[in-house]
Amino acid sequence: MPATDIRPLLAVLVGFIACVVILIVGEKNRDIREGITFGAAISKFLILISLFPLVYEGGKYLFTTPELLPGISLSFMADPFSLFFSTLSSMLWIVTTMFSIGYMRGLHEHKQTRYYAAFAACIGATIGIANSANLFTLFVFYEILTVATYPLVIHDEDEESLAAGRKYLAYTLTGGIFILFSLVLTYDIAGTLNFANTGLLSASMASPLLLKLLFATFIIGFGVKAAIMPLHSWLPSVMVAPTPVSALLHCVAVVKAGTFGIIRVVNNVYGIELMGDLGLGLPLVIVASITIIISMLIALTKDHLKARLAYSTINELSYIVLGAGLLTEFGVTGSMVHIANHAFMKIGMFFFAGTVFVATGKEYISEMDGIGKRMPISTLVFSIGAIALTGTPPLVGFISKWYLALGAIQSPHPVFVGVLLASALLNVAVFWPIIYKAFFKEPEVKRRPKVSLWLMIPMVFASFGTIVLGLFPRFPYTPLELAFRAVRLFLGG
Amino acid sequence: MVTHSLLPTIAVVLPIAISPFIFLIGRRSAYLRDGLAVGSLTISFVAILLMAPEVLSGKILESIVVSEQAAPLPISFKVSYFGEIVAIISSFVWVLATIYSIEYMSDEHSKERYYSFLVLTGGSMYGIVLAKNLFALYIFFELMSVVSYVLVIHEETEEALVAGKKYLFMCIGFGLLLFLSIILTYIGTGRLDFSSVPIFTEFYKKFMIVSPKTSLTILFFTYIFGFGTKAGLVPVHIWLPDAHPIAPSPASALLSGVMIKAGAYGIIRTIYNVFGPQLVQELGVNIVLSCIGVLTIFLGAAVAISQTEIKRRLAYSSINQIGYVVLGAAFLTKDGLTGAILHIFNHGLMKGVLFLCAGAIIYKTGLREIEDLKGIGKKMPITMICFTIGALSMMGIPPLCGFISKWILVLGALEAGVTILVGFAGIFLLSAIMDAVYYFPIIRSAFFEEPIDGDTTNQDPSIIMLAPLILLASGIIIFGIFPQIPLSFAEPAAEVLLGGF
Flag if A417 and B209 touch (Cβ within 8 Å): no
* Phi and psi torsions of B3, nearest 5°: -120, 135
Contacts of A475 in chain B (CB under 8 A): 69-70
Pairwise CB contact (< 8 Å): B66 & A472: yes
For residue A468, is pLDDT > 70?
A: yes
pLDDT, tens digit (0-9, with 9 covering 90-100), for A61-84? 999 988 888 878 999 999 999 999
Residue B450: pLDDT band with limits 50, 70, 90: confident
- Report chain B residues touching chain A, CB-CB < 8 A: 66, 68-72, 75, 138-139, 142-143, 146, 153, 156, 161, 165, 168-169, 172-173, 176-177, 179-180, 183-184, 186-187, 207, 209
CA distance B265 to chain A (A): 19
Task: Tell me how many degrees the CA angle A251-A256-A259 measures, rounded to the nearest 5.
Answer: 140
Tally the C-alpha atoms within 13 A of residue A205's C-alpha that lie toward its C-beta.
19
The pLDDT value given to residue B501: 46
What is the rounded distance in angstroms from the CA atom of residue A238 to the CA atom of residue A311?
A: 12
Cis peptide before A230 (omega within 30 of 0): yes
Please give the order of strands across the beta sheet that includes A61-69.
A3-4, A61-69, A72-78
Put simply, the answer to whether A424 touches B69 (Cβ < 8 Å) is no
Q: What angle do CA B97, B256, B138 make, to 5 degrees?
A: 100
- What pLDDT sits at residue B8? 93
Judge whether B185 lies within some domain.
no
**Which residues from chain A sit within 8 angstroms of residue B184, using beta carbons?**
409
**What is residue B432's predicted lDDT score, i.e. its pLDDT?**
83
Please indicate, yes or no, if residue B390 is contained in any of the structural domains. yes
Contact (Cβ atoms closer than 8 angstroms) between residue B35 and residue B88: no
In a domain, B111, yes or no: no
Q: How many C-beta atoms lie closer than 10 Å to residue B445's C-beta? A: 18
Nearest Cβ partner of A428 from B139, B172, B180? B172
CA distance A330 to A197: 17
Indicate the residue of B70, B146, B176 with minimum beta-carbon distance to A421: B176
Question: Taking chain A, what is the end-to-end CA distance rounded to the nearest angstrom?
Answer: 16
* Contact state of A393 with B139 under an 8 Å Cβ cutoff: yes
Q: What residues contact B364, with CB distance under 8 A and at least 6 apart? A: B379, B380, B459, B460, B461
The amino acid at residue A129 is I
- Tell me what percent of the residues of chain B surpass a pLDDT of 70: 98
Are residues A424 and B156, on separate chains, in Cβ contact within 8 Å? no
Q: What whole-number distance in Å separates Cα of residue A332 and Cα of residue A329?
A: 6
Tell me the pLDDT of chain B averaged across its residues.
90
Q: For A156, phi and psi rounded to 5 degrees?
A: -70, -20
Cβ neighbours of A391 in B, within 8 Å: 179
With beta carbons less than 8 A apart as the criterion, state whether B98 and B131 touch.
no
Q: Does the structure show a pLDDT above 80 at A51?
A: yes
Would you say A359 and A449 are in contact if contact means Cβ atoms under 8 Å apart? yes
Q: What Å distances lie between residue B80 and B77, B270, B345, CA to CA?
A: 9, 15, 15
Query: What is the nearest CA distance from B177 to chain A, expressed in angstroms?
Result: 8
Cα separation of the two ends of chain B? 12
Concatenated DSSP letters for A285-346?
A: HHHHHHHHHHHHHHHHT--BHHHHHHHHHHHHHHHHHHHHHH-SHHHHHHHHHHHHHHHHHH
CB A378 within 8 A of CB A356: yes
Q: Which residues share a beta bridge with A61?
A: A3, A78
Measured in angstroms, the CA of B187 and the nearest CA of chain A are apart by: 7
Mean pLDDT of A189-205: 90
> Taking each helix axis from N to C terminus, what angle separates B81-104 and B30-56, rounded to the nearest 10 degrees?
160
Task: Determine the pLDDT at residue B202.
Answer: 62
Does the distance separating the beta carbons of B169 and A428 come in below 8 Å? yes
| Residues of chain A found within 8 Å of residue B226, distances taken between Cβ atoms | none
Measure CB to CB from residue A471 to each of B66, B69, B138 and give the nearest one. B66
Is B257 contained in some domain? no
The pLDDT tens digits of the residues spanning A20-37 come to 999 998 888 888 999 999
pLDDT in tens, B98-131: 999 999 998 888 888 999 999 999 999 999 999 9
pLDDT at B417 over 80: no
- Among A399, A409, A424, whose Cβ lies nearest the Cβ of B72? A399
Contact B179 A405 (CB under 8 A): yes
Nearest to A472 among B71, B177, B184 (CB): B71
In contact, A152 and A118? CB cutoff 8 Å: yes
The residue segments making up the domain with residue B396 are 299-501
Please, are residues A182 and A218 in contact by the beta-carbon 8 Å criterion?
yes
Q: Please tell me what DSSP assigns to residue B500.
A: I
Which of B75, B161, B207 has the CB atom closest to A409's CB atom? B207
Q: Where are the domains of chain A?
A: 280-493
Angle at B190 between CA B188 and CA B191, to 5 degrees: 115
Task: Enumerate the residues of chain B whose CB falls inside 8 A of the CB of residue A398.
Answer: 139, 142
Decide the pairing of beta strands A61-69 and A72-78: antiparallel
Compute and round to an integer the Cα radius of gyration of chain B.
21
Residue A18: predicted pLDDT: 93
Quick one: which of B219, B233, B205, B226 has its CA closest to B274? B219
At residue B223 the predicted structure's pLDDT band, cuts being 50, 70 and 90, is very high
Residue A61: φ, ψ to 5°:
-105, 150
B172/A409 touch (CB, cutoff 8 Å), yes or no: no
Mutate to test the interface with A, among B135, B139, B145, B176 (most CBs of A within 10 A): B176
Instruction: Say how many CB pairs under 8 Å bridge A and B.
Output: 72
Nearest to B71 among A436, A440, A473 (CB): A473
- For residue A428, give how far its alpha carbon lies from the nearest alpha carbon of chain B (Å): 8
What is the per-residue pLDDT across B38-47, written as a single tens digit (0 to 9) for each?
999 999 999 9
Which three-class secondary structure state does DSSP give residue B160? helix
Residues of A in contact with B169 (CB under 8 A): 425, 428-429
SS (H, E, C) B264-331: HHHHHHHHHHHHCHHHHHHHCHHHHHHHHHHHHHHHHHHHHHHCCEHHHHHHHHHHHHHHHHHHHHHC
pLDDT value of position B191: 86
Residue A131: band (very low, low, confident or very high) from pLDDT cuts 50, 70, 90: very high
Torsion of CA A191, A194, A200, A201, to 10 degrees: 40
Q: Is residue B169 part of a domain?
A: no
Backbone angles phi, psi at B154, to 5 degrees: -50, -40
For residue range B170-218, list pLDDT tens digits in order.
Answer: 999 999 999 999 998 998 888 898 888 888 876 545 445 567 788 889 9
Residue A449 phi/psi, 5-degree rounding, is -70, 150
Count of domains for chain B: 1
pLDDT at B414: 85
Cα distance from B490 to chain A (closest Cα, Å)?
31
Query: Are B255 and B237 in contact, with CB atoms under 8 Å apart?
Result: no
pLDDT at residue number B3: 86
Higher local confidence (pLDDT), B162 or B456: B162
Yes or no, beta carbons of A414 and B207 under 8 Å apart = yes
Average pLDDT of span A447-456: 88
From CA A316, how far away is CA A301, in angstroms rounded? 17
Q: Compute the distance between CA of residue A435 and CA of residue A120 in angstroms, rounded to an integer.
A: 34
Q: Please say if the pLDDT value at position B135 is more than 70.
A: yes
Cα gap A480→A461, rounded to integer Å: 19
User: To the nearest 10°, the Cα dihedral for A487, A491, A492, A493?
Assistant: -70
B52 pLDDT tier (thresholds 50, 70, 90): very high
Q: Which amino acid is at A238?
A: V
Residue B168: its chain A contacts at CB < 8 A?
428, 432
A contacts of B186 (beta carbons < 8 Å): 406
Provide φ and ψ at A77, rounded to 5°.
-145, 170
With an 8 Å Cβ cutoff, the interface of chain A facing chain B consists of: 387, 390-394, 398-399, 401-403, 405-406, 409-410, 414, 417, 421, 424-425, 428-429, 432, 436, 440, 471-475
CA separation for the pair A195, A79 (Å, rounded): 11
Mutate to test the interface with B, among A413, A471, A480 (most CBs of B within 10 A): A471
Q: Assign 3-class secondary structure to B167-226.
A: HHHHHHHHHHHHHHHHHHHHHHHCCCECCCCCHHHCCCCCCCCCCHHHHHHHHHHHHHHH
Measured between alpha carbons, how far is A232 from A246 in angstroms, rounded to an integer?
15
Amino acid B198: pLDDT? 85
Residue B455 resides in a domain: yes
Name the residue among A391, A409, A474 with its Cβ closest to that of B70: A474
Closest CA–CA distance from residue A412 to any residue of chain B (Å): 8
Q: Distance between CA A162 and CA A191 in Å, rounded? A: 41
B436 found inside a domain: yes
Nearest to A387 among B146, B183, B187 (CB): B146
Is-contact A89 A253, C-beta < 8 A?
Answer: yes
Q: Edge-to-edge strands of the sheet including B2-4?
A: B2-4, B60-66, B75-79
Question: What's the gap between Cα B308 and its chain centre?
Answer: 24
Residue of A nearest to B145 (CA): A392
Nearest-Cα distance to chain B for A369, in Å, is: 14
Residue A177 CA to residue A175 CA, distance in Å, equals: 5
Q: How far apart are CA A175 and CA A451, in angstroms?
A: 40
Judge: B187–A409 Cβ closer than 8 Å, yes or no.
yes
- B450/B375 Cα distance (integer angstroms): 5
- Distance of alpha carbon A130 from alpha carbon A82, whole angstroms: 5
Task: Nearest chain B residue to A430 by CA: give it.
Answer: B169
Average pLDDT for chain A: 92
CB–CB of B66 and A409 under 8 A?
no
Mutant choice from A300, A387, A392, A423 vs B, greatest count of B C-beta within 10 A: A392
Between chains, do B71 and A409 touch, taking CB under 8 Å as contact? Answer: no
Q: Which residues of chain A have a CB within 8 Å of the CB of B180?
A: 405, 417, 421
Amino acid letter for position B251: A
Per the CB < 8 A criterion, the answer to whether A86 and A132 are in contact is no
Rounded Cα distance between B237 and B301, Å, is 13
B475 domain-assigned: yes
pLDDT band at B363 (very low <50, low <70, confident <90, very high): very high
> Minimal Cα–Cα distance from A88 to chain B, Å?
19
By residue count, chain A amounts to 493
| Beta strands A72-78 and B60-66, pairing class | unpaired
Cα–Cα nearest to A64, from A192, A176, A168: A192
Q: Is the dihedral of CA B252, B253, B257, B261 positive or negative?
A: negative
Q: Is the pLDDT of residue B305 over 60?
A: yes
In Å, how far are B270, B272, B294 from B260, measured between CA atoms? 16, 19, 17
